[in-house]
């Protein structure tokens, strides 16, 4: 999996974190323990751990040790928006309505949407909800979740907590893809959003992965004048 020692140490630890074997908060072995385990010098262990810390997978505290990082809502927000946080941040009251929720074995269409690679029939949760700001419709959320990753007892939480928020705080992810385009609302969404059917809407479709597994697919539809997507970035990295 890696041709140098510090890469192997790094990937060994990374695997255990991403698989969930070592959960957020877990104290990973001290540098001197890893030195013994891999029979190498401290610099080599240190290089592996520093790299994991730079990537945000672990947190290092002097005298205390190194710990698997908790998925930081704050940092994730930079790229995966947390709708309730955004609305309350600008001083508006936030509201949430679960419109429908269905648990089923995935159809082929579901697996296509999730870009699921394996050919197993995984259980999925298909739900639809509405976000409100100041009591007015703000966005429609259509979501498909992989129940092989999301624990089933989370489902009850979605009656009162938006699934996106729950996921951000509970499920670490390694990769995501946003697909953004504009459409006219159309009759169904127009009714749910309280706008004219020819209203221009911004649509954000997002897939999120943890390692090789898709965690969720979500389509968010916003009335065009209520929401702007802002991304600040730097070259390369």
Partner DNA sequence: AAGTGGTCTAGACCACGTT
Partner DNA sequence: ACGTGGTCTAGACCACTTT
Confirm if 164 and 218 have CB atoms less than 8 A apart.
Answer: yes
Please say which residue, 14 or 126, places its beta carbon nearer to its own copies. Answer: 14
The answer to whether residue 179 forms part of the interface with its own copies (CB under 8 A) is yes
Please, what is the angle between helix 42-54 and helix 31-38, to 10°?
Answer: 120
| Size of interface with its own copies, in residues (CB under 8 A) | 43
Q: Which one of 50, 101, 161, 184 is in contact with DNA (CB under 7 A)?
A: 50
Confirm if 80 and 206 have CB atoms less than 8 A apart.
Answer: yes
Confirm if 168 and 76 have CB atoms less than 8 A apart.
Answer: yes
Confirm if 185 and 223 have CB atoms less than 8 A apart.
Answer: yes
Q: Tell me how far, at minimum, the Cβ of 160 lies from its own copies, in Å.
A: 26
Q: Which one of 2, 32, 37, 56 is in contact with its own copies (CB under 8 A)?
A: 56
Residues 67-106, interacting with its own copies (CB under 8 A): 69, 71-72, 75-76, 79
Q: Which one of 25, 32, 177, 194 is in contact with its own copies (CB under 8 A)?
A: 177
Give the residue from 39, 38, 40, 59 showing the smallest Cα distance to 49. Answer: 59
Cα separation, 213 vs 160, in Å, equals 26
| Size of interface with DNA, in residues (CB under 7 A) | 25
The answer to whether residue 16 forms part of the interface with DNA (CB under 7 A) is no
Selection from its own copies, DNA, none that 177 binds (CB < 5 to 8 A by kind) is its own copies
Measuring CA to CA, how many Å separate 34 from each of 18, 64, 99, 110?
19, 16, 50, 43
Please say which residue, 29 or 123, places its beta carbon nearer to DNA. Answer: 29
Please say which residue, 6 or 113, places its beta carbon nearer to DNA. Answer: 6
Selection from DNA, its own copies, none that 79 binds (CB < 5 to 8 A by kind) is its own copies
Stretch that binds its own copies, among 4-12, 126-134, 141-149, 224-232 (CB under 8 A): 224-232
Count other Cβ atoms within 10 Å, centred on residue 35: 17
The answer to whether residue 39 forms part of the interface with DNA (CB under 7 A) is yes
CA dihedral 162, 163, 164, 166 (to 10 degrees): 90
List of residues contacting DNA (CB under 7 A) = 4-7, 30-32, 39-44, 46-47, 49-50, 53, 60-66
């Amino acid at each position: 999996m890696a041709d140098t020692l510090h890469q192997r140490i790094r990937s060994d630890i990374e695997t255990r974190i991403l698989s969930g074997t070592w959960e957020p908060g877990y104290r990973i072995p001290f540098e001197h323990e890893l030195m013994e385990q891999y029979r190498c010098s401290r610099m080599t262990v240190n290089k592996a751990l520093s790299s994991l810390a730079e990537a945000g997978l672990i947190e290092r505290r002097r005298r205390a040790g190194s710990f698997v990082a908790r998925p930081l809502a704050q940092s994730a927000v930079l790229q995966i928006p947390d709708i309730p946080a955004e609305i309350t941040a600008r001083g508006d009251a936030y509201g949430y309505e679960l419109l429908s929720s269905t648990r089923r074995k995935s159809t082929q269409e579901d697996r296509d949407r999730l870009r699921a690679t394996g050919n197993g029939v995984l259980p999925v949760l298909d739900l639809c909800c509405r976000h409100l700001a100041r009591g007015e419709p703000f966005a429609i959320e259509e979501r498909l979740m992989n129940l092989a990753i999301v624990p089933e007892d989370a489902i009850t939480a979605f009656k009162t907590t938006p699934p996106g928020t729950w996921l951000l705080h509970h499920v670490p992810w390694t990769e995501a893809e946003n697909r953004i385009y504009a459409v006219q609302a159309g009759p169904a969404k127009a009714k749910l959003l309280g706008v004219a059917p020819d209203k221009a809407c911004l649509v954000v479709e997002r897939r999120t992965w943890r390692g090789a597994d898709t965690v969720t697919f979500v389509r968010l539809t916003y009335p065009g004048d209520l929401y702007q997507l802002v991304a600040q970035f730097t070259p390369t990295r």
